[in-house]
Chain A
Amino acid sequence: MATTEYAARRLDRRRLAGAGGPEILVPGLPQRRAGWIDWVTTTDHKKIGILYLFTTAFFFLVGGVEALLMRIQLGTPDNTFLDPTTYNQLFTLHGTTMIFMVVVPIAAAFGNYLVPLMIGARDMAFPRLNMLSWWLLVMGGVVLYASIFFSAPAAGWTAYAPLSGSTFLPGHGIDAWILSLHLVGLSSVLAAINFIVTIHNMRAPGMSLSRMPLFVWTILIYSYMIVLAISSFAATLAMLLIDRNFHGTFFDPSQNGAPLLWQHLFWFMGHPEVYIMALPGFGMVSEIVPVFARKPIFGYRAIVIATAAIAFLGMLVWAHHMFATPLESPVLGFFMLSSLAIAVPTGIKIFNWIATLWRGNIEFRVPLLFCVGFIAQFVVGGATGVMLAVFPVDWQLTDTYFVVAHMHFVLFGGIFFAIVGGFYYWFPKMSGRMMSEGLGKLSFWVMVLGFNLTFLPQHSAGLSGMPRRVFEYHATGSLHGYNLASTIGSFILALGVLITIANAIVSLRRGRIAGPDPWRANTLEWFTSSPPPEHNFDAIPTVRSLEPMKDIRRRVREREERPAQPAPVAEPAAG
């Protein structure tokens, strides 16, 4: 049904968008359960993807409220809105939530939904493992937030030893944090293994690695990085758990343990984690930009190689978070050079995206706007990243609001904008309806304004001597001005996000019917109906190029122009 639908698109779209179609009865198939039970027990990668999307959106709102509470506290000097302990718990929860429960799993949300569709598969390799991954993520969130009822963790998302030891934070908040990250980490690793197996084994006939969509490439490399980095982090967390509860001394300096060992082990996960968050966003931009520029992606091979290079170098830069600790000069030099080197493949990607836009026929739809916002803001985060990589300069900048500004330019102005662009782009596929362009554009400009007003002044606050993670500051110099601008900006930013959420809710019911391929896109997910049927494709098309949908559209056009020589829309896969 889904395949023939595309050829018959001049028929009534409204009727076709519904489930409809001939009913196929297969004996022995389990009965569908009712309502929400069906959702939480499903093994359909698309439903799991949507579950991931709702879960991460929920955690994003929670983390966002935490951020706004912190911004209220910092809006005026010497404020007493929050007490120090609450403030410390808030930034710990905010960092942990946004990193481990929003940006990493949101890539799994889109990856789950899109990877099988993009590679022409009917599901992920291990559907039940997929369900388990989502459940582990939910449980991780429950464990973390259950801790607010006894004592929430308050050592920052980095949990530096020995502050995170039982001597200084005796409650069980840190233990809950450890257990939560074990669960979420296991969820990520299982999902990553699932992606790796799926991508290597289940691609449509003709889809060689050099014809694989760039989003799938980034999910593949993201998965390999997760397996390497998050597995090692599980061991690191176990060491802290042993220190806290079973008289271990890995990180206890009074027993000749090594607090710096925690920092090395933490950042051995923590920096690859940055690229784990960034790569899928890069992949989304690489999919969206060519569609709206009406031009193939410029330098496909270079982008793939750059992605792999970023992943490789990304595993070798961790100690640039530790430049101010007692490290030997050669160590400082090595980590500066590796961190500078990573700017090259990242720059290559940015140049390739702009070259894709160059000489295009650019349609300013909302997904493209967010991708452009991503490029423009991410390049600023990249430039400040180079400044932080130079260790003598980092000695002034590290652990200040400059770093806070840098990482939010990369993660929010960069990656999150790309993710919102991806959301606007794939929403029609997931829901069958278009989102409002007007509200989308409004949301974009409000977010751009709010984002820059929030985070640009934070660079200056850091340069003026404001360390990060402080619950109060005194009104010296321009600090009050910077922080007030930041607080006002954060609420504008929140408004921009709410407009997109409202847009999604309204469009879910009232949006224009999308049809299978509303953007005239390039990749296979647009070959099937919107939303796709449970089995994705009636017939899997053979892939002959990087842009299979362009080929299919061309052949449909040829057939419409010459009805005497009917050409098949797609050839069913052998077997």
Chain B
Amino acid sequence: MASRLALTLALAGLALAVAAVLATVAGADAITPEAGPTKNAVDTDTLYKIIFYTGLAVVALVWGVLFYSLFRFRARRWRTAPQIFGNASLELGWTLGASAIVVAIAIVTFIMLDGIKNPQRSGPSALAAARSQNAVLDQPPPSGGSKPLHVTVSGQQYIWRYQYPNGAVSFQQMVVPKDTTVLLDIKANDVAHSWWIPKLGPKADAIPGYTNHTWFKATATGTFAGQCAEFCGSGHAVMSAKVTVVEPSEYTSWVDTQKKLVQQAQQEVLKQRKQIQSQG
């Protein structure tokens, strides 16, 4: 009798503890993904929450019935359990119920998929350079937006390399303009890596020999950190990445400077090579 009381108390305590922990962490964004200033990250977060709370309801229901029956039907000397072997309609019922829940999850997913997977158009205040590309190509700019910015992301042990449309490159830190759709071509030079900036949206594996794609459009400036998510060797944990979102004008000057720096460095190398050749 005492042990049963102890069990009941323990179960109640456990339930209280779980509820307390859930309440605490729900406020602190500890049980949902990071969501930053991009539509696909926010949509992913929304979809996550829909499925998470559905799952939480199912778990609560199962726990409720489980713990209730453990308490209600604990052994009693005077009781004999009825010898029930099944109940076809009940079993059919919960099969259909479970199926309905997963079908609903699939439908919601396909409804929300478009906002997560398919790139938006750039906003009205997007990078002007990206817009002028349309003029060069003699095409009318799409209404209310402009062409996206293409950045090629290459993973290698243990650093990320970014190549911008004008030929500039940078390592580890990517700089992109605000309000502009950034399309990423994800590649790998040696082993598999995975591109992931939690606040900016989905991750995309970088597999050598393949090109993967993802995108984001940041509506606020700031710096967003991430790191390689696919195990890639002894330096996997230190293969970090940073995306700095700046105003379009700032981006233009940065990417021009970056290009000049790259050119200077290349000329430096050429000079040194000539020197070495002339010496030897």
Interface residue ranges, A against B (CB under 8 Å)? 84-85, 88, 154-156, 160-163, 168, 253-254, 256-260, 293-302, 322, 324-326, 329, 333, 336-337, 340-341, 343-344, 347-348, 350-352, 354-355, 357-364, 372, 375-376, 379-380, 383-384, 386-387, 390-393, 395-400, 441, 445, 448, 456, 459-460, 463-465, 467-473, 476, 478
Q: Answer whether residue B12 sits at the interface, using C-beta atoms and an 8 A cutoff.
A: no
Rounded to whole Å, the gap between the CB of A177 and the closest CB of chain B is 15
User: Could you say which of A154, A358, A387 contacts B55, with CB atoms under 8 Å apart?
Assistant: A387
Q: Answer whether residue B180 sits at the interface, using C-beta atoms and an 8 A cutoff.
A: no
User: Could you say which of A296, A343, A395, A441 contacts B98, with CB atoms under 8 Å apart?
Assistant: A343
Known: A361-B81, A379-B59. A386 touches B34 (CB 8 A): no
Q: A88-B233, A445-B10 are in contact. List 15 more A-B contacts (CB 8 A).
A: A160-B231, A163-B192, A163-B233, A259-B209, A294-B81, A297-B85, A298-B85, A300-B86, A340-B102, A343-B102, A358-B73, A375-B62, A376-B63, A463-B31, A464-B34
Q: Is the CB of B86 within 8 A of A465?
A: no
Known: A325-B212, A376-B66. A364 touches B3 (CB 8 A): yes
Q: Can you show 11 pairs from A to B with CB atoms below 8 A apart?
A: A299-B86, A340-B102, A352-B91, A358-B69, A361-B76, A361-B79, A362-B75, A372-B66, A383-B55, A397-B33, A459-B31
Question: What residues on A are CB-neighbors of B37 within 8 Å?
Answer: none
Q: Answer whether residue B190 sits at the interface, using C-beta atoms and an 8 A cutoff.
A: yes
Q: How far is the CA of A382 from the CA of B69 in the complex (A)?
A: 21
Known: A362-B74, A390-B105, A473-B237. A467 touches B228 (CB 8 A): yes
Q: How far is the CA of A380 from the CA of B85 in the complex (A)?
A: 27
Cβ-closest 6 pairs across A and B: A395-B202, A253-B209, A383-B55, A470-B237, A253-B208, A163-B191
Closest A residue to B231 using CB positions: A469
Surface stretch bound by A, among B44-52, B122-130, B249-257: B44-52
- Scoring B residues 81 to 119 as 1 if CB is less than 8 Å from chain A, else 0, what string do you get? 111111100110011001100100110011011001100
Question: What residues on A are CB-neighbors of B48 within 8 Å?
Answer: 387, 393, 396
Q: Is the CB of B73 within 8 A of A299?
A: no
Q: Is the CB of A362 within 8 A of B208?
A: no
- Scoring B residues 187 to 226 as 1 if CB is less than 8 Å from chain A, else 0, what string do you get? 0001110101010011111011111110000000000011
Question: What residues on B are CB-neighbors of A372 within 8 Å?
Answer: 66, 70
Q: Answer whether residue B270 sits at the interface, using C-beta atoms and an 8 A cutoff.
A: no
Q: Is the CB of B47 within 8 A of A392?
A: yes
Q: Is the CB of B69 within 8 A of A325?
A: no
Q: How far is the CA of A518 from the CA of B203 in the complex (A)?
A: 54
User: Could you say which of B58, B113, B234 contacts A392, with CB atoms under 8 Å apart?
Assistant: B113
Most buried by A among B112, B198, B201: B198
Q: Is the CB of B205 within 8 A of A325?
A: yes
Interface residues on B, range: 35 or more
Q: Answer whether residue B4 sits at the interface, using C-beta atoms and an 8 A cutoff.
A: yes
Q: How far is the CA of A315 from the CA of B32 in the complex (A)?
A: 30
Question: What residues on A are CB-neighbors of B116 within 8 Å?
Answer: 392, 395
Question: What residues on B are CB-neighbors of A299 within 8 Å?
Answer: 85-87, 91
Question: What residues on B are CB-neighbors of A386 within 8 Å?
Answer: 51, 55, 102, 105
Q: How far is the CA of A399 from the CA of B202 in the complex (A)?
A: 12
Rounded to whole Å, the gap between the CB of A411 and the closest CB of chain B is 18
Most buried by B among A85, A297, A363, A456: A456
Rounded to whole Å, the gap between the CB of B216 and the closest CB of chain A is 12
Rounded to whole Å, the gap between the CB of B223 and the closest CB of chain A is 13
Known: A294-B81, A336-B106, A372-B66. A471 touches B237 (CB 8 A): yes
Q: Is the CB of A383 within 8 A of B58?
A: yes
Q: How far is the CA of A359 from the CA of B116 in the complex (A)?
A: 47
Q: Answer whether residue B230 sits at the interface, using C-beta atoms and an 8 A cutoff.
A: yes
User: Could you say which of A162, A348, A357, A456 contacts B69, with CB atoms under 8 Å apart?
Assistant: A357
Known: A260-B210, A324-B204, A372-B70. A395 touches B44 (CB 8 A): yes
Q: Is the CB of B4 within 8 A of A364?
A: yes
Q: Is the CB of B203 within 8 A of A354?
A: no
Closest B residue to A86 using CB positions: B234
Rounded to whole Å, the gap between the CB of A68 and the closest CB of chain B is 19
Question: What residues on A are CB-neighbors of B4 within 8 Å?
Answer: 364
Q: How far is the CA of A375 from the CA of B9 in the complex (A)?
A: 19
Q: Answer whether residue B16 sits at the interface, using C-beta atoms and an 8 A cutoff.
A: no
Question: What residues on A are CB-neighbors of B55 within 8 Å?
Answer: 383-384, 386-387
Question: What residues on A are CB-neighbors of B73 within 8 Å?
Answer: 293, 357-362
Q: How far is the CA of A325 from the CA of B84 in the complex (A)?
A: 49
Q: Is the CB of B211 within 8 A of A364?
A: no
Rounded to whole Å, the gap between the CB of B196 and the closest CB of chain A is 7
Q: Is the CB of B44 within 8 A of A348?
A: no
Q: Is the CB of A168 within 8 A of B81?
A: no
Closest A residue to B214 using CB positions: A395
Question: What residues on B are CB-neighbors of A326 within 8 Å?
Answer: 205, 207, 210-213
User: Could you say which of B81, B208, B211 contacts A259, with CB atoms under 8 Å apart?
Assistant: B208
Question: What residues on B are CB-neighbors of A324 within 8 Å?
Answer: 194, 202-205, 212, 229
Q: Is the CB of B105 within 8 A of A392?
A: no
Q: Is the CB of A168 within 8 A of B102?
A: no
User: Could you say which of B41, B82, B106, B190 contacts A295, with CB atoms under 8 Å apart?
Assistant: B82
Q: How far is the CA of A257 from the CA of B209 in the complex (A)?
A: 8
Question: What residues on B are CB-neighbors of A325 within 8 Å?
Answer: 205, 207, 210, 212
Known: A384-B55, A478-B30. A302 touches B237 (CB 8 A): no
Closest A residue to B85 using CB positions: A296
Q: How far is the CA of A168 from the CA of B105 in the complex (A)?
A: 41
Question: What residues on A are CB-neighbors of B142 within 8 Å?
Answer: none
Q: Is the CB of B51 within 8 A of A387?
A: yes
Question: What residues on B are CB-neighbors of A301 within 8 Å?
Answer: 86
Q: How far is the CA of A469 from the CA of B86 in the complex (A)?
A: 45
User: Could you say which of B56, B70, B90, B198 contacts A383, with CB atoms under 8 Å apart?
Assistant: B56
Rounded to whole Å, the gap between the CB of B2 and the closest CB of chain A is 12
Q: Answer whether residue B265 sits at the interface, using C-beta atoms and an 8 A cutoff.
A: no
Q: Is the CB of A359 within 8 A of B81?
A: yes
Question: What residues on B are CB-neighbors of A162 within 8 Å?
Answer: 190-192, 208
Q: Is the CB of A293 within 8 A of B230?
A: no
Q: Would you list which residues of chain B between 20 and 70 have a CB under 8 Å from chain A? A: 21, 25, 28, 30-34, 41, 43-44, 47-48, 51-52, 55-56, 58-59, 62-63, 65-66, 69-70
